[in-house]
Amino acid sequence: MSNQNTRPSRQLDVHKSSEHPEANAFVDAVLEAYFPDVFAAKGKKRNSFRADLKVLLLDLYVSWQEDPKQTIGVGMSNSFYKKSSRYNALHISYKIIEIVHMLRAAKLIGLREGSEWSGKVSRIWPLKKLIKLFEQAKFGLEDIEPTPDRECIILRNSQKNDIEYEDNANTHRMRADLRRYNQLLADTFIDIPSLNTPIIKKQGDGGNITITQNHKFVRRIFHNSSFAQGGRFYGGWWQNIPKEYRQKIYINNNPTIEDDFSALHIMLLYAKQGLEYDWDGDDPYYIPIKFINDYEQARLVGKLFLLTALNAKDKKSGFAAARNTFTDNDIRYKGEFDQKFFEDYLDKVKVKHPPLEEYLCSNAGVGLMNVDSQITEKIVKAFTTRGIPILCMHDSFIIQVQHDNELRTQMQKAVEQVSGTNNFKIKRKNIGLGQVTQWMHSDREYYLSSIKHLGEGNNNNSKNKRIRTKGYEKRMKTFYSSKL
């Protein structure tokens, strides 16, 4: 592989697990063919080597299936592997480093070594011999899952490193709830039926997002060594896809709707001060900009700036982040987004939203994330308890169309319990069954038409019509067969 630095990459997942007979046979075949001395050995030495080799091979296989060009970042320092860590459920040891070198010597993988001091992580990828074995493998992605004991409650320090912590009643409760949710996701088929090949091309870096039943594990991540900061739910391929694809998601072969809290963090800050935003006035994100005539783009600038300012620790970092965010969203007005613009715009935000002034550019974001994570926790738990799968996007939720009314009810209930007010707006993408049913008697023609196109977009646009491709049908059949 050439130009590894330009290839998409992700970190090694040390929690890949499979007890499928063919997966175990695959690992044993590699062990016997390329490491005969270890294969012939008995006891702890063989078992430990095989466990580490299995994690490497399974994750290389998953990565190759996700994107053949993708590399895996792997720590080549002993400090990366702590067998007793709560974040290493399979107890992978530093000896995995030796196995990486042995796989390279066997010409099964490529390796570009980095250096810990420079922050450049080493990368590995399968070579032709291993790829050929992958192509002949008699197991699939659906047979590889995260180990059930994988830690899902993550605490990070200010350097964004995972750190150990002492469990208490709260962490035990959060973990139990999240493991039940992850088990429900593991048993749920989540896919996009219009994709014959389950790949969405990324913009920019040329990589791929693979729609797979293998990437549904969700974690809660807390920040700054505090369970009072952060705590959002992260994970699941649906969080990484472009938003236009989210309305095309099916859950257990049923179309979905997405309900979204409007300007959630702004409304939470109003509620914190016992105030309510006047929804009859302007959109909370819209502030006129003299060189932008398009209302929607001016609103987007306002939204991106506000969210960036709430997460920034100071004006300098906030303005720099906002400028980068505008570029990422293709908002380009040469020379206009200078220091004076941002200073003036920040003043206009304070005039429009006086209750926000003390929170702007003061690192308020992680605290707000903790509040919205409490709302998410209540909503997810309400549906998980009933065995109804739901997907979360921090301030929006995706659920099967037949549960649309229930979702809205639970969102309103949760936000009121956490914030103390119900002055929140919820926007909907796609059409839900509850919306359609209200027209059953008063407008029969509209009702029948809407039932026909349920879940296919708010405007029944032909471009949004859902097609169950052959690839999707095959993936669904394979998934349900694996659950028998």
4 Cβ partners below 8 Å, 6+ apart? Answer: 71, 110, 112, 123, 125
pLDDT at position 448: 54
The whole-model pTM stands at: 0.89
pLDDT at position 9: 86
Show the tokens assigned to 304.
């991106």
pLDDT classification of 183: cutoffs 50, 70, 90: very high
The sign of the torsion formed by the CA atoms of 128, 129, 130, 132 equals positive
Indicate the SS3 state at residue 466: coil
pLDDT classification of 458: cutoffs 50, 70, 90: very low
- DSSP string across 284-304: TT---BTTB--HHHHHHHHHH
Element (H, E) at 74: strand 71-74
Closest CA to 26 of 1, 45, 7, 54: 54
Mean pLDDT of 37-62: 93
> Which residue did the predictor score with more confidence, 148 or 471?
471
pLDDT at 86 over 60: yes
Element (H, E) at 317: helix 315-328
Per the prediction, the chain carries an average pLDDT of 90
pLDDT in tens, 87-117: 998 888 899 999 999 999 999 999 999 876 6
> What does the alpha-carbon distance between residue 366 and residue 387 come to, in Å, rounded to a whole number?
30
Element (H, E) at 4: none
Token match 């590889």: residue?
144
> What does the alpha-carbon distance between residue 438 and residue 327 come to, in Å, rounded to a whole number?
43
pLDDT at position 437: 63
pLDDT at position 205: 57
Show the tokens assigned to 228.
């009072």
- Residue % of the chain over a pLDDT of 90: 74
pLDDT classification of 312: cutoffs 50, 70, 90: very high
pLDDT at position 441: 52
pLDDT at position 467: 81
pLDDT in tens, 415-437: 999 999 989 999 988 777 766 66
Mean pLDDT of 275-291: 93
pLDDT at position 148: 87
Is 415 within 8 Å of 425 (Cβ atoms)? no
pLDDT at position 80: 84
pLDDT classification of 66: cutoffs 50, 70, 90: confident
pLDDT in tens, 5-26: 667 888 999 999 999 999 999 9
> What does the alpha-carbon distance between residue 484 and residue 269 come to, in Å, rounded to a whole number?
48
Is 120 within 8 Å of 114 (Cβ atoms)? yes
Token match 């023609």: residue?
445
Is 192 within 8 Å of 211 (Cβ atoms)? yes
pLDDT at 128 over 80: yes
pLDDT at position 221: 98
Q: Rounded to 5 degrees, what angle do the CA atoms 232, 87, 4 make?
A: 85
- DSSP string across 331-350: ---TTTSSHHHHHHHHHHHH
> What is the number of helices (H) and of strands (E) in the chain?
16, 17
- Residue % of the chain over a pLDDT of 70: 90
> What does the alpha-carbon distance between residue 353 and residue 277 come to, in Å, rounded to a whole number?
9
pLDDT at position 457: 47
Q: Provide the CA 379 distance to its chain's centre, in angstroms.
A: 17
